């Protein structure tokens, strides 16, 4: 059975439709990322799965339960990290995890949970003495306390510094290796690419693409991306489809061998250097920007939030 | 664990967190005593027999109604309630934990005020009424807790909580035989005040100390009944208005 199944999900706030009929399936044991810009409907979707919001239409199944019914049997099997922290400030990390562990029938060992969240050194500190990043980890520890099969992470690294993000990624990978199903939302492409087995891109309340990162990159124009800089005053060659990008030049080609040959031949004969020359396939970020931009231009005026 | 066991456990955690903030804990108990001292200075030591039970009423209302309306609103704004909603802890078990702790603090306050009245002002503790006192306190603490929870559902956000909570309770206490005796109040105001649970709570407590209409009348069933009725309305309103998430 799939861990999460969504069919025709819709959610309206008054006249504004935040989620406009989406279908998604997340398999057991999978790390799934829901990627999209702010206001795309990601949090609304994940909060419906968590039971925090009621859907307007459609079918939702989480571990075989309807999350809208607030069944204890479902809550015993899932863990939630919300976008914002909410933990008793005057209890220690260990006390908070122990308190929450008691809500579950088969909790994971408290100290092991604290270790998984990377809070071993802070275990006896009160939550109000912790830094912002450490409080986010308390959130994670609380979500792990019940040893859930399914974990929801809503923008888990927003506001983290780069090293804290890397640590959080390692934690998520560790959880995935324990066989947990992980449903995460993010607006960072690299995060989705680094963590997710499969991802869906959401824009303007709709799913605009699903698949592995490689599939998404391959499914859009299978082109190669060339990037270079020229010294001031030198104009790039005509006829190769070169376009100016921020202080550099870029081109897309489906014939990279021929195009590079022509470009370097031009540079040699003109006696100019192709500074910072980069050749690569399109990144997930390019695909993402293109798909989300397409979705926005299709949307009726005034519908974007 | 069963819901009841979880609720008891929750009281323990609430209690632990409460004492971890000593300034807050200190002023929770010092505040009513400060009122008692000031009133006795202003109105003379004879007033202690009135103010001992009156400040007990004030303390219980503060520790339950005021405290829960404020702290539950803050917990909601901080996302603590929303987070709990995502765990298997039954919502009622959490709230029973909060209420249970509030009632314990209220009872401790009553003991402190009673002891202070006896030791500092020689106001004898009416031990003969102990069982009735405990009954009144239990019903009142539960009723004012329910009303506090109901109010928190109506408060839009934590910033608005102190203003709204004070506006709903201070004027009510002023006309309820708590800060001022209602002996000389106009009839219409006296009638209004008799609709309120605070007035009946105060009259019951004053009666135990030999003051007012219910003095020496045994168990003040009428007062208990009115307070309980308000408590039931509080429970109904709390179920109708309580929210787990901040208002957006």
pLDDT in tens, B36-76: 999 989 988 778 999 999 999 999 999 999 999 999 999 99
| Residue B246 predicted with pLDDT over 60 | yes
Residue B246 domain-assigned? no
Residue B248 domain-assigned? no
Residue B247 domain-assigned? no
HSE on the CB side for B50, CA within 13 Å?
Answer: 17
Residue B146 domain-assigned? yes
| Rounded distance between C-alpha atoms, residue B200 and residue B175, angstroms | 11
Output the average pLDDT for chain B: 93
- pLDDT at site A220: 59
The total number of structural domains in chain B stands at: 1
Q: Check residues A245 and A260 and name the one with the higher pLDDT.
A: A260
According to DSSP, residue A123 is labeled T
What residues of chain A lie within 8 A of the CB of B245, using their CB?
52
What is A4-77+149-218's CATH number?
Answer: 3.40.50.300
What residues of chain B lie within 8 A of the CB of A102, using their CB?
1, 6, 9
| Residue B160 lies in domain | 3-241
B83 touches chain A (CB under 8 A): yes
Q: Which member of B10, B78, B85 has the closest CB to residue A52? A: B85
Residue B248 binned pLDDT confidence (cut-offs 50, 70, 90): low
What residues of chain B lie within 8 A of the CB of A139, using their CB?
83
Over residues A150-154, the mean pLDDT reads 95
Give yes or no for a contact between A140 and A122, defined as CB atoms under 8 angstroms apart: no
| Rounded distance between C-alpha atoms, residue A126 and residue A132, angstroms | 13
Give yes or no for a contact between B145 and B102, defined as CB atoms under 8 angstroms apart: yes
Residue B150 binned pLDDT confidence (cut-offs 50, 70, 90): very high
What residues of chain A lie within 8 A of the CB of B78, using their CB?
85-86
Tokens (6 digits) for A182: 């992980």
B2 touches chain A (CB under 8 A): no
Phi, psi of A24, rounded to the nearest 5 degrees: -150, 150
According to DSSP, residue A235 is labeled P
The CA angle A187-A189-A191, to the nearest 5 degrees, is 90
For A16-51, give one letter per residue: b (16+ CB within 10 A) or e: ebbbbebebbbeeebbbbbbbbeebbbbbbbbbbbb
Cβ-defined contact of B20 to A51 (cutoff 8 Å): no
For B187-225, give one letter per residue: b (16+ CB within 10 A) or e: eeeeeebeebbbbbbbbbbbbbbebbebeeeebbeebbe
Cβ-defined contact of A75 to B6 (cutoff 8 Å): no
Over residues B165-173, the mean pLDDT reads 95
| Residue A243 predicted with pLDDT over 60 | yes
């Amino acid at each position: 059975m799939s861990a999460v199944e969504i069919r025709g999900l819709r959610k309206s706030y008054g006249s504004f439709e935040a989620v406009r009929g989406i279908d998604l399936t997340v398999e057991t044991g999978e790390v799934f990322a829901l990627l999209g810009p702010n206001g795309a409907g990601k949090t609304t979707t994940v909060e419906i799965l968590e039971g925090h919001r009621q859907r307007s239409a459609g079918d939702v199944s989480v571990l075989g339960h309807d999350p809208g019914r607030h069944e204890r049997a479902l809550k015993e099997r899932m863990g939630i990290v919300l976008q914002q922290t909410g933990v008793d400030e005057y209890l220690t990390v260990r006390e908070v995890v122990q308190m929450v562990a008691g809500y579950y029938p088969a909790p994971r060992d408290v100290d092991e949970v604290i270790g998984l969240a990377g809070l071993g050194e802070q275990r006896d500190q009160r939550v109000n003495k912790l830094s912002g990043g450490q409080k986010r980890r308390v959130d994670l520890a609380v979500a792990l306390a019940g040893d859930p099969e399914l974990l929801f992470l809503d923008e888990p690294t927003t506001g983290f510094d780069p090293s804290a993000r890397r640590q959080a990624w390692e934690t998520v990978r560790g959880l995935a290796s324990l066989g947990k199903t992980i449903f995460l939302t993010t607006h960072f492409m690299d995060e989705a690419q680094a963590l997710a087995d499969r991802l869906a891109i959401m824009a303007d309340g709709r799913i605009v693409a699903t698949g592995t990162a490689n599939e998404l990159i391959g499914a859009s124009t299978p082109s190669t991306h060339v990037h270079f800089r020229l010294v001031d005053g030198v104009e790039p060659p005509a006829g190769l489809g070169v376009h100016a990008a921020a202080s550099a030049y870029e081109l897309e080609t489906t014939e990279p061998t021929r195009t590079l040959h022509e470009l370097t031949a031009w540079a040699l004969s003109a006696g100019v250097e192709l500074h910072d020359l980069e050749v690569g396939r399109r990144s997930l970020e390019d695909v993402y920007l293109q798909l989300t931009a397409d979705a926005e231009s299709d949307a009726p005026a005034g519908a974007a939030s | 664990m069963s819901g009841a066991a979880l609720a008891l456990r929750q009281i323990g955690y609430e209690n632990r967190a409460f004492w971890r903030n000593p300034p807050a804990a200190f002023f929770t108990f010092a505040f009513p005593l400060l009122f008692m001292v000031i009133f006795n200075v202003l109105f003379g030591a004879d007033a202690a027999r009135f103010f001992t039970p009156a400040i007990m009423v004030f303390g219980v209302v503060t520790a339950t109604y005021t405290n829960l309306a404020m702290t539950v609103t803050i917990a909601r704004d901080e996302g603590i309630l929303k987070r709990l909603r995502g765990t298997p802890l039954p919502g009622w078990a959490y709230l029973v934990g909060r209420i249970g702790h509030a009632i314990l603090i209220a009872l401790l306050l009553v003991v402190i005020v009673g002891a202070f009245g006896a030791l500092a002002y020689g106001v004898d503790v009416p031990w003969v009424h102990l069982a009735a006192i405990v009954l009144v306190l239990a019903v009142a603490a539960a009723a004012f807790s329910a009303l506090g929870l109901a109010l928190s559902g109506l408060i839009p956000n934590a910033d608005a909580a102190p203003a709204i909570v004070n506006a709903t309770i201070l004027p009510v206490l002023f006309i309820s035989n708590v800060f001022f005796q209602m002996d000389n109040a106009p009839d219409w105001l006296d009638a209004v005040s008799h609709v309120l649970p605070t007035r009946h709570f105060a009259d019951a407590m004053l009666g135990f100390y030999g003051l007012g209409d219910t003095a020496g009348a045994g168990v003040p069933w009428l007062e208990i009944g009115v307070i309980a009725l308000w408590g039931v309305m509080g429970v109904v309103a709390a179920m109708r208005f309580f929210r787990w998430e901040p208002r957006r």
